Amino acid sequence: MGVYSDFERLWIWESLGDRLEWYLGVSVNRYPAKYLIAKRVEIPVGGFDEIGSVDKGLEIYKRYTEDFLKLWRDVRNGEDISRLEVPRYSLLDLARDLVRAIVRKCIFCRWKCGVDRVEGKKLGACMLTTESRVGSYFHHFGEELVFRGTHGSGTIFFTSCNMRCLFCQNGDISRDRFNGIPYTPRELAQIAFLLRIEGCHNINWVGGEPTIHLHSIVEAIWYLAKEGFRLMPRGSELDKILMAKADAYIPYPMDKRFALYKGEFNVPMLFNTNMFLSEESMILLRPLIDIWLPDFKFGPGRCSVRLSRTPWYFETAARNHKMLYEWGENMVIRHLVMPNHIECCTKPVLEWIAKNIPGTPVNVMDQYRPESYADPHSPHFDPDAYDIARRPTREEIIKAWTYAEELGLNYREITFEKKLSKRAIEGLKALIQ
């Protein structure tokens, strides 16, 4: 029996196993993570200096992503990549070099500020230089069952954000860019390493927002591919790594078999994002991310501007979701139902999903509570949050679920699994029909 046999036997795979087949395969080490494939895709150049510019680099990256896709297909058909040579310069090397170059004229997210974050004289909407801080990391047992599984989701919370949601549920880290501990990309790789050999089913890059830390995350993935089991932190390195580990007091047993794919270090990369990424970042992440967990927060009206200070949200999130769908990526969408926003946000978002990316698993979430600037009892309460300063009513939640039902969305198991047994889900279906 494999080390993840309990995870593989979870009832939820009966309904979602087909949709999340790649992720599940990597998670139980039946498939290699995409980064292990990307490191074997050769790019016949001497290095990034020879390429010369971000535009040219992205063009080459897109071209060789086609080679990646062919190899990815072969892997799903049984190809053994461990017999393939690792080239001198690979798609993964180019990904690392591209993010290092892009951060000098930053276009990681839709703001496309164009600031030089290495120099750091002028900051963009995320207010960050290149330093990446981690508020905390741990085995997360609050995520959806497919992610928390039996050993937890290896969740790494980065500081700061590119949106300004008045209701942010992680306001302590997303609003305070000096929160947390600064880690280098190699240290981030060591954090991911530790979580995986303690049995986590995935590395869950989140925040705040992970997109604004793309230079650090992509380089950390590069280290996971290049150094693998040599990343084991020891001595003072381990002391530093453990500083942000919120569950360091739990003695999780470490076992190399949790991470083993044909002798290499293996773990699925999960990108847990507000979906306000630039198209370039989407393209960069395509051959690196095994499973996506995007939000779809607002409808096409002005709500994203008033409640998140973010223009172009709907069109950016819609474009990015469509890209993932057309690429055939594994994903689970989260939509948080907010009070008074059923007609303007929940309904248009669910309609868009039904029409444009049917069958995609959606978590229609009922756990909204007024936090941060939406908390009417807080001295920081912002009057702009007047309509979201309470929890949604039962009627609003039932309305959202009923609409998801009417649209035929694939939402039931992922939405209800925390509350109910599989049998009770059928009962709930009867209730809202």
| Number of residues near ligand SF4 (by CB under 6 A) | 14
The answer to whether 16 contacts ligand SF4 (rule: CB under 6 A) is no
Which residues in 129-188 contact ligand SF4 (CB under 6 A)? 162
**Nearest-approach distance from CB 103 to ligand SF4, in angstroms:** 8
SS (HEC) of the chain: CCCCHHHHCCCCHHHHCCCCHHHHHHHCCCCCCHHHHHCCCECCCCCHHHHCCHHHHHHHHHHHHHHHHHHHHHHHCCCCHHHCCCCCCEHHHHHHHHHHHHCCCCCCECCCCCCCCCCCCCCCCCCCCCCCEEEEEEEECCCCHHHHCCCCEEEEEECCCCCCCCCCCCHHHHCCCCCCEECCHHHHHHHHHHHHHCCCCCEEEECCCHHHHHHHHHHHHHHHHHHHHHHCCCHHHHHHHHCCECCCCCCCCCCHHHHEECCEECCCEEEEECCCECHHHHHHHCCCCCEEEEECCCCCCCHHHHHHCCCCHHHHHHHHHHHHHHHCCCECEEEECCCCCHHHHHHHHHHHHHHHCCCCEEEEECCCCCCHHHCCCCCCCCHHHHHHCCCCCHHHHHHHHHHHHHCCCECHHHHHCCCCCHHHHHHHHHHHC
The answer to whether 113 contacts ligand SF4 (rule: CB under 6 A) is yes
The answer to whether 289 contacts ligand SF4 (rule: CB under 6 A) is no
**Nearest-approach distance from CB 218 to ligand SF4, in angstroms:** 13
**Nearest-approach distance from CB 349 to ligand SF4, in angstroms:** 23
The answer to whether 125 contacts ligand SF4 (rule: CB under 6 A) is yes
Binding mask 83-112 for ligand SF4 (x = CB under 6 A): -----------------------xxxx-xx
Of the pair 99, 400, the CB lying nearest ligand SF4 is at 99
Of the pair 112, 391, the CB lying nearest ligand SF4 is at 112
The answer to whether 205 contacts ligand SF4 (rule: CB under 6 A) is no
Q: Please identify, among the stretches 125-133, 176-184, 287-295, 370-378, the one whose residues bind ligand SF4 according to the rule CB under 6 A.
A: 125-133
The answer to whether 124 contacts ligand SF4 (rule: CB under 6 A) is yes
Which residue from 76, 146, 158 is spatially nearest to 333, judged by alpha carbons? 146
Of the pair 16, 106, the CB lying nearest ligand SF4 is at 106
Of the pair 99, 288, the CB lying nearest ligand SF4 is at 99
Of the pair 165, 241, the CB lying nearest ligand SF4 is at 165
**Nearest-approach distance from CB 212 to ligand SF4, in angstroms:** 4
Of 60, 126, 221, 400, which one interacts with ligand SF4 (CB under 6 A)? 126
Of the pair 21, 116, the CB lying nearest ligand SF4 is at 116
Which residues in 364-423 contact ligand SF4 (CB under 6 A)? none
**Nearest-approach distance from CB 284 to ligand SF4, in angstroms:** 13
Q: Please identify, among the stretches 10-18, 120-128, 190-198, 289-297, the one whose residues bind ligand SF4 according to the rule CB under 6 A.
A: 120-128
Per CB under 6 A, residues contacting ligand SF4 are 106-109, 111-113, 115, 124-126, 128, 162, 212
